[in-house]
């Protein structure tokens, strides 16, 4: 059990670093590996920036619940596997249907 928790923490450090970078630099994170396709600097829409920030924050909040439910096998926390995708879907619908 200790090894599972240890490796989960070790693996989650770069994941959280990437998620923080995604939140702080959403335009750069969306264009990773794709900048060579454009001759000029591409314009990223405000909806895409808001969705990237929403996704990174939601993942930073939801990931520990996913890890804890997988490691400790608490039956109540198994609902996280259903709730997490629903939250992301509802958030995406809210962001992309908002007319602001």
pLDDT tens string 17-45:
999 999 999 988 888 877 777 788 888 88
Question: pLDDT confidence of 99, banded at 50, 70, 90?
Answer: low
More confident residue, 80 or 23: 23
**How many domains does the structure of the chain reveal?**
1
> Beta-carbon neighbour count of residue 26 at 10 Å?
20
SS3 93: helix
> Beta-carbon neighbour count of residue 82 at 10 Å?
9
Question: pLDDT confidence of 100, banded at 50, 70, 90?
Answer: low
Q: Is the pTM of this model over 0.75?
A: yes
Average pLDDT of the residues of the chain: 85
State the residue range of the domain holding 10.
Answer: 2-97
- Quote the pLDDT of residue 24: 94
């Amino acid at each position: 059990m200790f090894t599972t928790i240890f490796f989960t923490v070790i693996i989650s450090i770069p994941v959280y670093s990437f998620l923080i970078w995604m939140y702080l630099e959403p335009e750069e994170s969306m264009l990773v590996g794709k900048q060579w396709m454009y001759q000029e600097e591409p314009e990223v829409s405000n909806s895409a920036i808001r969705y990237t920030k929403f996704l990174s924050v939601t993942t930073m909040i939801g990931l520990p619940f996913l890890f804890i439910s997988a490691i400790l096998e608490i039956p109540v926390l198994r609902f996280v596997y259903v709730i997490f995708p629903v939250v992301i879907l509802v958030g995406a619908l809210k962001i992309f249907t908002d007319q602001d």
